[in-house]
Structure 1
Amino acid sequence: MSRVDHMDVAAYALGVLDEQDMERFEEHLATCWACAAELESMVPVVGLLSDIDEESITAMEQTQSNPVLLDRTLGALRTHRRRARFRQVLATAAAVVVFGGLTGVGFASLTDDSAPPNPYAGPSTGVPLDPPTNRPGNPGDPGFGGNAQEGDQRNVTDPSTGVEATFFLISKDFGTKVDFTLGRLPGPRTCRLVVVRENASSEVISTWTVPPGGYGTNSNPQRLVLSATTSTKLDDVKHFEVQSVDDKGVASPLVRVPAT
């Protein structure tokens, strides 16, 4: 190809070639990697020129710019702003890049590097959901309305105090985990959870305070939801007991929950 063909890259990128010269250059571009690489490097410059308005270029003229160059640039900008033509320039250049990749010659992407990548939703790697259960539950139970609560459920209402308790007893390698809710628990008071073992020994595994409105009461319908752990194995537990503790440290039982 002639040197004129090689010198047409800028004119082609700006869209100032006539139809015949444009077709001739595109035929040349399909086989000339030097021109394809030069066209690729000019795409960002052409993109910047598209953001310059004629008023800005007119101001350049007032700073002793070359008037001949100014006229040619203005004409190139008007032509370039025909977006359909510019898209054709990009498509042609992209086709050359694809062809270059097939022959072992690669160029940088002609697209804007600042654009964020398309989001990709990969497979979930979270913990599997607990299997569904047919076990009945109360609205105040831990996990009620969501995934099935782990553990053996115990629902108890103390006939003397009226305190309602729902316990989930979970056997663990370290001992036993207890998830529980309490209702009809008046306040104010201080409470504690005690584990009583088969050998008659006991251990306090959780303490809390109850506000004046209580939990699961007319003043405060929200039930109390808590968790506790003990090193005692579930097989060694006789029962759990929620106790109320007065200012002198004297405890009185509120509700007892058997382990089996």
Structure 2
Amino acid sequence: MRSLERHRDVGAYALGVLDEADTFRFEDHLMECPRCAAQVTAFGPATRQLMLYRRSTPRLVHPLAEPGPGVLDRLLSEVAARDRAGRRRTLLALTASVVLAVSAPAIALMARDGGGSAAITATTDELSGVWAEVTTEDRAWGSHVRLRVKDGAGPRVCRLVVVGLDGSEETVTSWTVPRHDARPNTMLGGSAIRPEDIARYEVRTADGEHLVTLRPR
């Protein structure tokens, strides 16, 4: 996958329509590209609106249908071009235009995964000073996880680990903390462990050092 194609895959990644291999390659790119990380975060409101629409709308298209590349390109261009003052208005209009343009194929793709309520938990570790917030959404295949973390002790490589009630562990996502940068970073990932089976989330360094623990509410 060329660099330009990685940038253009932001919209597809945010909508959850990349295949497993492309998702893996894009997440590697995401750790090294602040521009794409910011755009993935900006897609959050639009993605939530699509999910709400999905839950209230019956599936009308074949489950393997996909949105055309032109739709994703327009979605990415709209988000990149909007200014701060018009952010909320543009995102809502963008959501409506996607629904009308693709007649719900992207929604149908996400509908295959099921969907459920999202749970949010956040805390700051007194020893490390690292703050983290995890949003977990129930899916048919497991848990969709969104992590926001503030860590001013970089540079270092970190990872989010999900620990199940049975003691099993699964790494959800990993990232590189910039040098002395305490601004929040946002990462997306997924786990085969269902939300009700998760005992806790742990942010650790690549060397295994514990930074912060979050427990589901």
User: TM-score category by the smaller chain?
Assistant: 0.3 to 0.5
When normalised by structure 2's length, the TM-score is 0.46
When normalised by structure 1's length, the TM-score is 0.39
Larger radius of gyration: 1
Greater relative contact order (Cα < 8 A, sep 6+):
2
